[in-house]
Structure 1
Amino acid sequence: MKSFCNRFVSSGVWAETYWLGHRILKCPFDLFIYQEILFELKPDVIVECGTNAGGSTLYLAHLCDLIGKGKIVSIDIEEMDRPKHDRITYLLGDTTSSEIVDQVKDFVSGHDTVLVILDSDHTEPHVLKEMDLYHRFVTVGSYMIVEDSIIGEIVFPQLAPGPLGAIRKFLPENDQFIVDESREKYHFTFNPEGYLLKIAEQSSKKIESEKDS
């Protein structure tokens, strides 16, 4: 995987991938996995941290069209012209700000199935902060997907520590999430260890802490 990944990224083709004319900075294998996840979960709300040009947001909206349900709230710190769709709401701001998190809360009801995608600033501290803030929105049986965990590990070593470091710090304290290796079945992904399946409402450590208090 490492040699292919380096060749794939160094070629620049990852930045020349389009969905209906809109640039989409994702691995095609991961896009197919997204399709499988959305069909299985049929989420009511998809929270996307990091919009960029909006190609992946539009892709998700079109998948929701095919499934017949779902809306996307996508957050980015930079304002730009992005594709419009009835299922998409764009929020402008820092994904980790209290104002943005409060706005996301308004999109989610207690009965919604919620999927979270983290794909903004890929530095370890920022990703870990996003994980701490957004994991609470994820419903049991759904996912928090941490994108581009190859950064700082397999590619762009100068950008370490990256998302993978955040994942490995988060999981020991939050065992209500597990790495779903089945989502890496094509043996090539931009998100190794990044498909985090929520299997319980709370971590065992939190439950034990509540018992002791």
Structure 2
Amino acid sequence: MAAAVIEQRPTPAGLGRRIASGLMAPFLYKSTGSEADEYHKWYFNTMVWKRTTWMGVETWKSVSDMWNYQEILVDLKPSLVVEFGTNQGGSAMYFANVMRQIGQPFKVLSVDVTHERLNPIAQRDPDVLFVESRSNVPAIADQIRDLRKDYPGKVFTILDSDHSMKHVLSEMKLLRPLLTRGDYLLVEDSMLNGHPNLPGWGPGPYEAIEAYEQEFPNDYTHDVDRENKFGFTYAPNGFLIRN
């Protein structure tokens, strides 16, 4: 005969200690301020981000960033998502999946200089337009203009292609006349060149943002709350809302 399982409930005194412990924890176990950077370095150096997939397709992103992006998409409800840097296509699929849940007409435009790595699973997504091209050429600007006519509304744009300062700056300048008030721009991989990863990388996305803002200081407002929400991001200084 099986022994009876007796549920043991905490005594009033024990319950009180638990409540007190929970209330005091933020004061007793304060952050040293280094945890986010150390976790960020671990996340990057172990290359776990290269082993992250969406629906079976590699998606080289921070998973906390991806969660943040879907919250932004739900709040913004854009009609057009523009991605510079396709790679295998996992993130383009992800954006399309989120947008379908939002439930309004949309298109995802994903641009990359080569489709050699593009996964056929992603390529079959009916709501993603994959374009093989450099991202900073006039033909891409024309395509975005045309898509804005077909899908009027807000635009969510993410830069994740060539991570050199010169290239990212050229992408930001290409987008300048294309984005309007309230549109969202994410400049990814600004954590390179010591922010806090790969200090020897050389000027990259972070420095491109700085250079752009020196030239056009009133174009964007930094969405600091979003940037800081999960403690670390692959886009430091790169959560931008068009003014």
> Normalising by structure 2, what TM-score?
0.78
* Partner of residue 6, structure 1: 41
For the 8 Å contact 2:49–2:60, the answer to whether it is kept is yes
Q: Does 1:59 align with 2:94?
A: yes
Post-superposition shift, 1:117?
0.9
Post-superposition shift, 1:86?
1.4
Post-superposition shift, 1:85?
1.1
For the 8 Å contact 1:116–1:137, the answer to whether it is kept is no
In structure 1, C-alpha distance between the alignment counterparts of 2:172 and 2:217, rounded to whole Å: 10
For the 8 Å contact 2:87–2:115, the answer to whether it is kept is no
* Partner of residue 237, structure 2: 193
- Runs of 5+ consecutive residues of structure 1 not aligned to the other structure: 200-213
How many aligned residue pairs are there?
199
Q: Does 1:94 align with 2:134?
A: yes
Q: Does 1:116 align with 2:185?
A: no
In structure 1, C-alpha distance between the alignment counterparts of 2:138 and 2:185, rounded to whole Å: 19
Q: Does 1:74 align with 2:118?
A: no
Q: Does 1:158 align with 2:200?
A: yes
* Partner of residue 208, structure 1: none
In structure 1, C-alpha distance between the alignment counterparts of 2:82 and 2:242, rounded to whole Å: 15
Kindly name which structure, 1 or 2, has the bigger radius of gyration based on alpha carbons. Answer: 2
Which residue among 19, 25, 28 is the counterpart of 2:63? 28
Q: Does 1:182 align with 2:225?
A: yes
* Partner of residue 32, structure 2: none
In structure 2, C-alpha distance between the alignment counterparts of 1:135 and 1:144, rounded to whole Å: 10
1:44-79 CA-partner distances (Å, limit 9, x unpaired): 011111101000000000001100122101100012
For the 8 Å contact 2:144–2:178, the answer to whether it is kept is no
Post-superposition shift, 1:136?
2.6
- The more displaced of 105-114 and 56-65 is 105-114
* Partner of residue 206, structure 1: none
Identical counterparts, % of pairs: 35
For the 8 Å contact 2:141–2:178, the answer to whether it is kept is no
* Partner of residue 211, structure 1: none
Runs of 4+ in 1 over 3 A off after TM superposition: none
In structure 2, C-alpha distance between the alignment counterparts of 1:180 and 1:31, rounded to whole Å: 16
1:6-32 CA-partner distances (Å, limit 9, x unpaired): 111111101111111111111011001
In structure 2, C-alpha distance between the alignment counterparts of 1:174 and 1:118, rounded to whole Å: 19
In structure 1, C-alpha distance between the alignment counterparts of 2:180 and 2:61, rounded to whole Å: 24
* Partner of residue 78, structure 2: 43
* Partner of residue 180, structure 2: 139
In structure 2, C-alpha distance between the alignment counterparts of 1:117 and 1:174, rounded to whole Å: 20
In structure 2, C-alpha distance between the alignment counterparts of 1:51 and 1:174, rounded to whole Å: 29
Could you say what the CA RMSD is over the residues aligned between the two structures, in angstroms? 1.4
